[in-house]
Amino acid sequence: MSRPEVSVLLTSWNTLEDTRRCLASLHDTAADVSYEVIAVDNASWDGSAELLLADPRVRLISNDHNVGFAGAMNQAYREARAELILLLNSDVTFHDDTMQTMLAFLVDHPDAVGVSPLYLNPDGTFQQHYVQLPSFAACLALWTALKRVPGFRGALRRFQMQGADFSEPRELASASCMLMRSKVLPVDHIFDETFPVYWNDAVLTRELEAAGHRMWMIPDAVVTHNRGASCRLLGPAMRFRHLLGGLVRYLHLTQPRHRVVLFRFVLVADYLLKSLVGRTTTLAWGDLNAALRGDVGPLPDGDTRAWEIVGGRGRLGTGEQGDNPAAGAAGWAGADGAVRTLSIDPPGSRRGRRFAVRPTGPSSFEATLPITLPGQRWIAPIRWLNQRIAAARLRQWLDTHAGARTLRVDEDHEYLIGWLGEDVPAVLDGSEADIPGSSGG
């Protein structure tokens, strides 16, 4: 068997349609390039593995559990035969001549060890996907209210490359789609697997730059990127714990110990202040404490469908079950199984002192929120405290079940808005409501 020019390393986790588009665009636009595709599927349940297995141009490694992005890429890399490897996320689609343009750049620039394309959003607009290696000030600004302080705000802008010019080639790299020379990598791995989801690319970039290697972004090679297609499936608690826990691990590698201690102190102070003034936070205190120790937590397996959380008489805009909002939610979700519905205090349910969730179908669940203290009907502070306890119990349950979250509530459950880590704006009786707080300050 002849040796291919490029080994394409593709990771897959429950992104069936994105994976389908990615493969189709690769095969259509790189037909004149000799390449092999080595795909690793992290125990997808949505048919992604079956799609990859059915493609004769793909060599599939099918895992029985989720090993994360770094682990999957390393598995694929150990099977690669080409001198050039293409790191590829399944949410990337190629434009005409993208692969050929990146190949030509490496031929013309022997001092370059890697090259990445320009990213576009699915609507065709420019996507600012690149970042620089973060400074300590940028790390603090990324997670706390210090982002509003001029010096820290500037550090964050430089890290996120806000306002940068991407119309000309520049020294940058992105692991979502990067063509690399394998000779600059270890023989058995690309990424540090102690960073399973986030920051592994920063560690790789730092190591390559320290060795004097140069990586480039070129605007003449273009891809469309459905950014975060897999990461959204983690749900907010798992996603932010991996993001913060990975950052703490990165700081351990790059900063003196006293700065790591300072980072933890500032984050705890920031979260405490937000809690005291009633602001929502991206992580519950237990997950925050674990993340600040560098503990990223587990990677989810099994069902990762999004949650549609319907509070009381809250309705789904797409429900088609007449005047019964609970039936509308369950009927809509169960129609094609695209999402799971969690009905909160559905009509007819009786509330007690215990939080309870029960399944009512393959895609629908009912939750009864607790009334912890008596007297909430007449005493407003008790009602406020009961609501916060109920919201905390519901979020605790959701945080152990992966999946993005949408919240639709009636006026009796309006207090839940902003307290469940919603991934999209919540809806109150069919209209959008503002969510207090923000992710990270």
Which percentage of the chain shows pLDDT scores above 70? 91
| 3-class SS letters over the chain | CCCCCEEEEEEECCCHHHHHHHHHHHHHHCCCCCEEEEEEECCCCCCHHHHHHHCCCEEEEECCCCCHHHHHHHHHHCCCCCCEEEEEECCEEECCCHHHHHHHHHHHCCCEEEEEEEEECCCCCECCCCCCCCCHHHHHHHHCHHHHCHHHHHHHHHHHCCCCCCCCCECCCCCCEEEEEHHHCCCCCCCCCCCCCCCHHHHHHHHHHHCCCEEEEEEEEEEEECCCCCHHHHCHHHHHHHHHHHHHHHHHHHCCHHHHHHHHHHHHHHHHHHHHCCCCCCCCHHHHHHHHCCCCCCCCCCCCCEEEEEECCCCCCCCCCCCCHHHHHHHHHHHHCCEEEEEECCCCCCCCCCCEEEEEECCEEEEECCCCCCCCCCCHHHHHHHHHHHHHHHHHHHHCCCCCEEEEECHHHHHHCCCCCCCCCCEECCEECCCCCCCCC
Is a pLDDT exceeding 60 seen at residue 319?
Answer: no
Q: What's the chain's average pLDDT?
A: 88
- pTM, two decimals, is 0.83
Residue 314 banded pLDDT, cuts 50, 70, 90: low
The larger pLDDT score, comparing residue 278 to residue 342, is at 342
Average pLDDT over residues 119-135: 94
Tell me the CATH number for domain 6-130+166-230. Answer: 3.90.550.10
- The percentage of residues in the chain with a pLDDT greater than 90, rounded to a whole number, is 67
Residue range 165-214, pLDDT digits in tens = 999 999 988 999 999 999 999 999 999 999 999 999 999 999 999 999 99
Q: What is the mean pLDDT of residues 315-335?
A: 37
Average pLDDT over residues 148-156: 96
The pLDDT of residue 275: 82
pLDDT of 171 reads 93
Indicate whether 75 pLDDT > 90. yes
Query: What pLDDT digit, counting tens, does each position of 410-424 carry?
Result: 888 889 988 888 877
Work out the average pLDDT over 213-228.
Answer: 94
